[in-house]
Amino acid sequence: MYLRLAIAAVLAVLLAAGGWKCYVMGKQTVQAAWDQEKLATLQAQQAKQQADQATADRIATQVAKSAARDRVVYRTITREVAHVPNDCPVPGVVRVLHDAAAAGEMPDTGPARADAPAVSAQALTETVIDNYEACRDDQRRLAALQEIIRQYNGE
């Protein structure tokens, strides 16, 4: 009777030990698979970030080249302002309306508008040229941002 009880106890211990070993091995296998999946995800994210950065760098280089070319154009045009006749000043209301349009605000209708000093044709021309240059810069940056987003989204 003691022999059967001892054999049953040994078998119970062996089964428990075997079950524990299977549990530990299964846990290690699951952990290793999870670690491998995390590593693969991290590597994919890093590769995507590198590709996105390369795209942004390529587009930034294109924008910089385009901006440099435009700077030459606008500086050349600005030098030509010296040839604009300055003998006929432009009424101050033109400057007030131009400033309001550039700021996206309603123009002043009070005495400040009526009493606005006249502006030279050269100064007005320089202001218009500067505004067009700023507008082109904004257009270029917006187009670059849109291109970067398209590239990031794989379009």
pLDDT tens sequence across 3-53: 777 777 777 777 777 777 777 777 778 777 888 899 999 999 999 889 888
Q: What is the pTM of this model?
A: 0.63
- Amino acid making up residue 2: Y
55: helix, coil or strand? helix
Q: CA-CA distance, 60 to 33, in Å (whole number)? A: 40
Q: Which tokens belong to 111?
A: 């005495």
155: which DSSP letter? -
**Model confidence over 103-129: pLDDT tens digits?**
888 887 777 777 888 888 888 888 888
For residue 27, the model assigns a pLDDT of 76
Q: Which long-range contacts does 76-79 make (Cβ < 8 Å, 24+ apart)?
A: 77/129, 78/126, 78/129
Beta-carbon contacts of 62 under 8 Å, excluding residues fewer than 6 positions away, are: 144
What does the mean pLDDT of the chain come to?
85
* pLDDT at residue 100 tops 90: no
Under 8 Å between Cβ of 33 and 126:
no
- Specify the residue for token string 């999946």: 37
Q: Which tokens belong to 103?
A: 């700021």
Average pLDDT of the segment spanning 61-89: 88
For residue 44, the model assigns a pLDDT of 92
